[in-house]
Amino acid sequence: MTPEITIAILMTVVGASTPILLAALGELVVEKSGVLNLGLEGMMLIGAVAAFAVAATTGSAWLGALVAMLAGAAAALIFGVLTLTLTANQVATGLALTIFGVGVSSLVGAPFVGMTVEGLGTLFPESLADDAWGRILFGHNPLAYVSLLAVVLVVWFLNRSRAGLILRAVGESDEAAHSIGYSVIGVRYLAVLFGGAMAGLAGSCYSLVLTPLWADQLTAGRGWIALALVVFASWRPWRLFLGAYLFGGVMTLELHAKAAGLSLLEPEFLAMLPYLATIAVLTIISLRRSGARAGAPACLAKPFRASA
Amino acid sequence: MNGVAPRLALSGVTKRFPGVVANRDVAFEVQPGEIHALLGENGAGKSTLVKIIYGVLAADEGEVLWDGAPVRIANPKAARRLGIGMVFQHFSLFDALTVLENIALGMDEAMGRAELSARVDEILETYHLPLDPMREVHTLSVGERQRIEIVRSLIRTPKLLIMDEPTSVLTPQEVERLFEILRQLASEGCSILYISHKLHEIQALCERATILRGGEVVAECDPKIETAKSMAELMIGADLKEVERRAGNEAGEARMTVRGLSLPGEPPFGVDLDEVSLTVRAGEILGIAGVAGNGQNELLAALSGESLAAKAAMIRIDGTDAGRLGPGARRRLGLAAVPEERNGHGAVPEFSLADNAVLTARHRLGLVAAGFVKFAEARAYTERVIRDFSVRTTGPGASAGSLSGGNLQKFIMGREILQAPSVLVVSQPTWGVDAGAAAQIHQALVDLAAGGAAIVVISQDLDELLSLADNLAVINEGRLSAIRPVAETSIEEIGLLMGGVHGEVVEAQGDAR
Amino acid sequence: MRARLEARREPSRAMRLATPPLAVLLTMVAGAVVFQIMGFDGPAAIHQIFIVPVIDPSHWPDLGVKAAPLIIIAVGLAIGFRANVWNIGAEGQYVFGALAATGVALATWEMEGVWILPAMCLAGLAGGMLYAAVPAFLKTRVGVNEILTSLMLTYVAIQLLYYLMRGPWKDPEGFNFPQSRLFTDWQTLPMVMEDSYIHLGVPISVLIALAVWIVMGRTIVGFEVRLAGLAPAAARHGGFNAKRTVWLCLLAGGGLAGLAGTFEAAGPYGQMVPQFPVGYGFTAIIVAFLGRLHALGIILAGLVLAVSYVGGELAQTAAGLPHAATGMFQAMMLFFLLAVDILVRYRLRFGRPAAAEGSA
C-alpha cells in the first residue's frame, strides 16, 4: 500500500467516524441524565435535511450546519415534551421520533432530490495541507475537529464540572436528586436538547460533508449504530471516541476494497458489514461484562414524575 | 428558656391529599438545643409533617414560626438557608458516586474540591465519624451511608436537625453512637426533631415528645416520665392486643433444611450468600434478624426458588431435594413465600386481586387447565382470602394498587396461608403496615405454625422477631449465624451479630457479663 | 385559573378507549394545518386521506389488502411490547420470511399441488422465527439489547434481498431485471371473491388477531406475557421464566411478521422484487400502539393506517401531496397518541387543588 492510499483511507475513516461520534456523544450525555432517546436516527435525518435545504437555498453551508443543530434540538424537544412532561414511554416515543424523522426528511427533501450543494469544505488554508502530515493534521472536514473538541469538552463536563456531577446524579437516582432539590426534569430537558443538537449536527455531516447530494434516508441507519456505540463504550466518552473510529474503519471497508481492487465479497455483503459488526461488538462487550449494563446510569429510561 | 422564642413553632398546620387528610390542625414547639420527639405509628402523618417543615410539601393551612418570626418555607433550599437540616429515612444518595461527590451534591452553593474536602474532614474529626470520602457509596454499609447524610446536614452548621426514623436500619450499637452525636449537637445548641415510633429510643434520647395519631396531635409529654406502655397507648389509641401463643411449644420434624447454601449476588450491588445452613421444623417460627441489605432479599429468593442453588441437596423440603427446582415446583412441594417488596414483586399493582391470586396460587389450587386460566375459580379463591383476612377492598376485581399497604399485605399473606403451605418463608411481614393489620398478620402466622407448618420470618424489626419467633438467627453480609432459642438470647448479642461480630466474641462477651 | 394534572387512583378505562380516536382526530386537525402552511389545500387533503377511502366502497378491498399485513405484524409485535420485549426489527423478519417462502416457491416452481402454498407459509413462518431467534438468543444468553440487534438485522435482511435479486434468484427470463420469477398459480394466494383482489390473507389476518386475543386474554401464556411487562420480579416470583418469555415474544413476533411477508409475496406481488420492503414492519409499530396492544384494537388500528396509505395515494394524485407525507402523518398519529395517553393516568383539572374527598 502506498502512503497515498494509506492517507486516503485515513481521511475517509475520519469522515465516516465524525458523524457517529457527534451523535453518540450527544446520546451519551442524554443517557447519563437517565433518558434513552432512540430517536437518534430521526433527529439526524431532520438535521441532514435542514442543513441541505438551508445550504441549497442560502448558499451557506455553515448556516446549514447551525440550522441543523436547531432542527435537531427542535425534534428533541418533541421527544422531551412527550417523555419528560407527559411521561410517555421513552422507547415508543424514540421509535416514533425516528419514523417521524424519516417522513419529515423525505417530505422536506423531496424538491431537493439529486441536487448538490457546496459542502463545508476545509477549515484550514489549503497551503497547510499540501504534504502528507499536513493533510493528516489539517486536511479534514471542519466537523471532524468539532467532534474531537466535543469529546474533550464532554469528558471535562461530566467529570470535572459541578453541572456534570448534577447531571450524573440525576441519571443515577432521580428520586434522590429531586429530594435534594435539583430539577430532574429541567436537567433532563437540557440534556435531551443537547443530544438533539448534536444529532442534528451529525446529520448535517452527511448532507454537507460526506455526500453533498440529497437522497432519501441519507443516514442509512447510522443513528442506530451511534446508539450501539454508547453501549459499547460503557457510557465513557473516551471509549466512545475509540469505538467511533473502529466503526468508521468498518464502514469504509467497502471503499477501501474498491480502492485496492479487491472483490472478496459481493457489494451487498460489504454493505451488511457495519450492521453485523455492531451486533458482534455488542455481543462481545456484553460477554465481557458480568452484568450487561455495568456502567449504565441506574435510572436509564425510567420515567420520572415528581410526587410532590 | 424564658423570653427566648422557640426555634420552631407550628400552629394550625393542615395538609390534605386526595382522599385523605394527612395532617389536621397540628401545633407544637421545639426549643433551642432541645431533642424533641415526634412519635406516631406508620401513617400517623409524621413524614408529611416534616416534609412541610423542610419545604418538600406545602401546607394547605397553618403557620410556621422560626425563631419567633413567621416564615414560608417554599422548598428545601429555603429550609436549608434558614438553618434546617434533614436526614431522610430513605437516603438521598447516589450509589455510583463517591462520598465526597455525594456531599458536594448536597451543597446549595459550589465549593472548591479542596475546601470541601477539608471541611468534611473537619466534621468527621469533630464528631468522631469514621467515613472515607473517596469510597463509592454502594460499597458502604447502611450506617455509613447515614453518616453521609449527617455530614451533609452538619456542613451548614444547622440550627435544627430533623431525623426521620434514623434507626430503623441500624444495629443497636450504631444506634448508641448516633445518639452520642445527637447529644453532642444538642449541647452545642442545635435543636433536634427526632421522628420515630420506637418508644425505648425516645425514652433514652428525647426531652419532650409530641404524639401524632391519624394526622392530629393527641398528646405532648415528657418521655422520661411516661412509661413505654402509656405512650404506646397514646400512639395507637387502643389497648394493645397481645399475640396469643399456643401452649406447649414442641417442634416437630424438620420440614425444610438448608445446608451449605452459597450463591453469588446479582451485580452490581447484590450480596453473596455464604454457606447458609438452617433447619426449620413443623410448628416452629424461625426468625432471621439483620440490618437491611445483608442478604435478606437474596436468602428469600434462594428459598422461594427465584434463584436456584448450585446443588439440589442444598435445600430439602419435606424430604425432597429442592435446590434446583423453580418457584412453581417448590410451591407444589408445599413451600410458600412472601417477599419484602409488595408492589411489583409479591403482587402486581396493575393486576386485579384475582389475577394476583393466579400469580402464586395456581400451582397448588390447579387454577390452570390445558393452558387456560380458570378465572372463575381464581375469583372464588380471592373472595375467600378477602373474607378470611378481612381485606378492605371493593372485591376480587379491584386492582392490587388500589389497596392500602396494610390491606395489600393482608391479601398477600392470606393468599399464601390459605393454600395451607407446609413451609412459609416471609420477609418483613408487617413493613409499613398499621398496628391493627400487623397484629392480625402476626396472629395468622402463629396459627399457621400451630397447625404444623414451619415458618421462616425475615425481619429487621427486632421487637417483632422477639415476640413472634421461637428461634432466632442473624444474617450479616450474607452469612447466617447459628440458630438460638429466643428465650436464651439477649438484645446485645443479637446486636453484635447484626454488626458482624460472630461466634466466639459473642461467647466471650456473654462470659464477661 | 391554571390547568393541572392530577394522578388518578386507577387508570381510566374510558380514556384507554377514547385516546386513540382522539389522537387520530388531532392528527387530522394538525395535518390540515401543516398542509395548509406548506401551500396545499389542507382540509381537502385531509378529506382525501381520511374520508374518501372510508366512504367510497370502491376503495374498501384496497383497505383490506393494505390492513392485512399491518394487522398480522402488529398483533405479533404487541405480544412482545406487552412484555417489554422491544422487537423493532419486524421489517427484517417480514423480508426474511418472504425470502424463505420465495425460496420454497423457486424450488417448487415446476411442481404442482395444493401443498405448495402451505409449505411456503410454513417456510415464511419459520423464516421469520429464525430471524427473530438471533436477537432472542443474544438477549437471553448474552444480555444484548434486542432493540439494536433486531433493527440491525433489518438492514442485513434488505441487503440479502438485494443480493438474491441481483444474483442467484434473478428471473432467468426477466430481461436482466433484478427480480424473481413470477409465482405459479399453486404458489399464489387465491382470491376470496371472484373479480376482487381481496386475497385469502385478508380474512386470515382477522382470524389471527382473534386467536391472539383469546391467547392473551384467557390463557396462562397471555397471563405470563402481560405479567412480564408489568412486573418482571413478580413474574419470577410466580414461577415464570423470564428467558422463556423473551423467546416466546420474539418467536411470535418474528413468525407472524414472516407469515405477513409470505402473504404479501404470494398475494399482491406474486413474485419477489427489491422494492418489497415498504416499511410495513415499522408502520406496524404504530398500529400496535394505536390499537392499545390489544388484538381487537389492532384490527381497527390496522384499518386506520390502511386508510392513511390508500388516502395518501389518492391525495398524491388529487392534491399533489408528496408521497412522503403519509409517513410523517403516521408518525404524528403516534406522537399524538403518546401525548394524550397521559389522560389515562392523570386527570386534567382546572383551578385550585381539590379539597380532600371525604376523609379516609
Q: How far is A171 from chain B (nearest CA, A)?
A: 9
Question: How far away is chain C from the Cα of A75, in angstroms, using its nearest Cα?
Answer: 12
* Total beta-carbon pairs less than 8 A apart between chain B and chain C: 89
pLDDT on residue C351? 61
Residues A295-308 pLDDT 10s = 788 888 888 876 54
Question: Distance (Å, rounded) from C-alpha A99 to C-alpha A78?
Answer: 13
- Written as one string, the DSSP assignment of chain A is --HHHHHHHHHHHHHHHHHHHHHHHHHHHHHHTT---TTHHHHHHHHHHHHHHHHHHHS-HHHHHHHHHHHHHHHHHHHHIIIIIS---HHHHHHHHHHHHHHHHHHHHGGGTT-B------SS-GGGGSSHHHHHHH-S-HHHHHHHHHHHHHHHHHHH-HHHHHHHHHHH-HHHHHHHT--HHHHHHHHHHHHHHHHHHHHHHIIIII--B--TTTTTTHHHHHHHHHHHTTT-HHHHHHHHHHHHHHHTHHHHHHHTT--SS-HHHHHHHHHHHHHHHHHHHHHHSSSTTTTS-TTTT-------
Amino acid at A140: H
- Which residue type does B54 have? Y
Q: Which chain B residues in 262-301 lie under 8 Å from chain A, judged by CB atoms?
A: 266-268
Q: Are the beta carbons of B345 and C237 separated by less than 8 Å? A: yes
Judging contacts by C-beta atoms under 8 Å, the chain B residues touching residue A291 are 266-268
How many Å apart are CA C262 and CA C5, to the nearest integer? 47
pLDDT tens digits along A24-63: 999 999 999 999 999 999 999 999 999 999 999 998 999 9
More confident residue, A87 or B435: A87
Q: Is C233–B345 a contact, with Cβ atoms under 8 angstroms apart?
A: yes
Give the distance from residue C193's alpha carbon to the nearest chain A alpha carbon, in angstroms: 35
d(CA B120, CA B129): 10
CB contact B416 to C (< 8 Å): no
Interface of B with C in 433-462 (CB under 8 A): none
Joined grid coordinates for residue A23: 451523535
Interface partners of chain B (CB pairs < 8 Å, 3 or more) are A, C
Contacts of residue A125, defined as CB under 8 A and 6 or more positions apart, other chains included, come to none
| Residue A132, pLDDT above cutoff 80 | no
Question: Is B111 an 8 Å CB contact of chain A?
Answer: no
Helix (H) or strand (E) holding B361: helix B353-365
Distance from CA of A182 to the nearest CA of B (A): 9
**Mean pLDDT, rounded, of chain C:** 91
What does the radius of gyration of chain A's CA atoms come to, in whole angstroms?
A: 19
Cα–Cα distance measured from residue A138 to residue A128, given in angstroms and rounded to the nearest whole number: 7
Nearest CA among A76, A107, A70 for reference residue A90: A76
- Name the residue in chain B with its Cα closest to that of A166: B105
Percent of chain C residues past pLDDT 90, beyond the cut: 73
Full-model pTM = 0.87
For chain B, which domains are there?
8-236 (3.40.50.300), 254-512 (3.40.50.300)
Cβ contacts of B331 on chain C, cutoff 8 Å? 239
Q: Closest partner residue to A180 among B97, B106, B268, by Cβ? A: B106
Give the 3-state secondary structure of residue B275: strand
Q: In 3D, which of B88, B102, B194 has the Cα closest to residue B140?
A: B102
DSSP C26-93: HHHHHHHHHHHHTTS-HHHHHIIIIIHHHH-GGGHHHHHHHHHHHHHHHHHHHHHHHTT-----HHHH
Q: Is C356 inside any structural domain? A: no
pLDDT tens readout for residues A169-225: 999 999 889 888 889 999 999 999 999 999 999 999 999 988 778 888 888 889 999
Residue B148: closest CA among B85, B197, B195, B82: B85
Helix C280-290, helix C295-319: angle, nearest 10:
120
Report the amino acid identity of residue B7: R
C184 occurs within a structural domain: yes
Name which of C246, C79, C237, C215 is nearest B370 in CA terms. Answer: C215
Q: Is B345 on the interface with C (CB under 8 A)?
A: yes
Q: What is the mean pLDDT of each run of 10 residues along chain B (513 residues)?
A: 79 85 92 92 82 90 93 90 87 89 87 89 89 89 86 90 84 86 93 86 91 89 84 69 56 91 81 93 93 88 95 94 95 95 92 96 94 95 95 91 87 95 94 80 93 93 85 91 87 74 42 36
Cβ distance B96 to A162 less than 8 Å, yes or no, reads no
Query: Any chain A CB within 8 A of the CB of B105?
Result: yes
Mutate to test the interface with B, among A179, A183, A300, A302 (most CBs of B within 10 A): A179
A-B contacts (CB, under 8 Å): 55
- Predicted pLDDT at C289: 94
Is C355 contained in some domain?
A: no
The whole-number pLDDT of residue A20 equals: 95
In a domain, C39, yes or no: yes
Can you tell me the ipTM of this complex?
A: 0.89
| CATH classification code of A3-288 | 1.10.3470
Minimal CA separation from C157 to chain A, in Å: 9
Range of the domain at C210: 3-347
Chain A residue at shortest CA distance from B58? A308
| A138 Cα to chain C: minimum distance (Å) | 34
Whether C357 is covered by a domain: the verdict is no
What is C280-327 written as a DSSP string? HHHHHHHHHHHTTT-HHHHHHHHHHHHHHHHHHHHHHHHH---TTHHH
- Looking at CA atoms only, how far is residue C98 from chain A in angstroms? 18
Chain A: which residues have CB within 8 Å of chain C?
Answer: 38, 78, 81-82, 86-89, 91-93, 95-97, 99-100, 102-104, 106-107, 110, 216, 220-221, 224, 227-228, 231, 266, 268-269, 271-272, 275-276, 278-279, 282-283, 286-287, 291-293
In a domain, residue C353? The reply is: no
Contacts of C160 in chain A (CB under 8 A): 268, 272
Q: Minimal Cα distance from A289: which residue of B? A: B267
pLDDT at C190 over 50: yes
Least confident of B269-273, C154-158, C205-209, C288-292: B269-273
Per-residue pLDDT tens over the stretch C229-282 = 999 999 999 999 999 999 999 999 999 999 999 999 999 999 999 999 999 999
A272 contacts C159? CB cut-off 8 A: yes
Q: Which chains sit next to C, with 3 or more Cβ pairs under 8 A?
A: A, B
β strands within B240-395, DSSP E: 254-263, 273-281, 285-289, 315-317, 320-321, 335-338, 368-369, 372-373
Is there a contact between B105 and A308 if contact means CB atoms under 8 Å apart? Answer: no
Does the pLDDT of residue A98 top 90, yes or no?
yes
pLDDT in tens, A237-281: 999 999 999 988 888 877 777 666 666 678 888 889 889 999 998
Residue B470 is predicted with a pLDDT of 92
A82 vs C contacts (CB less than 8 Å): 335, 338-339
Give the gap in angstroms from C-alpha B80 to the nearest C-alpha of chain A.
10
Task: Tally the domains of chain C.
Answer: 1
Separation of alpha carbons A145 and C132, rounded Å = 40
Give the pLDDT of residue C63.
Answer: 94
Domain boundaries, chain A: 3-288
What CATH number has the domain bearing residue C14? 1.10.3470
Contact assignment for C286 to A272 by CB distance below 8 Å: no
CA distance C345 to chain B (A): 12
Cβ within 8 Å, pair B344-C359 = no
pLDDT at B238: 60
CB-closest option in B92, B97, B268 to A180: B92
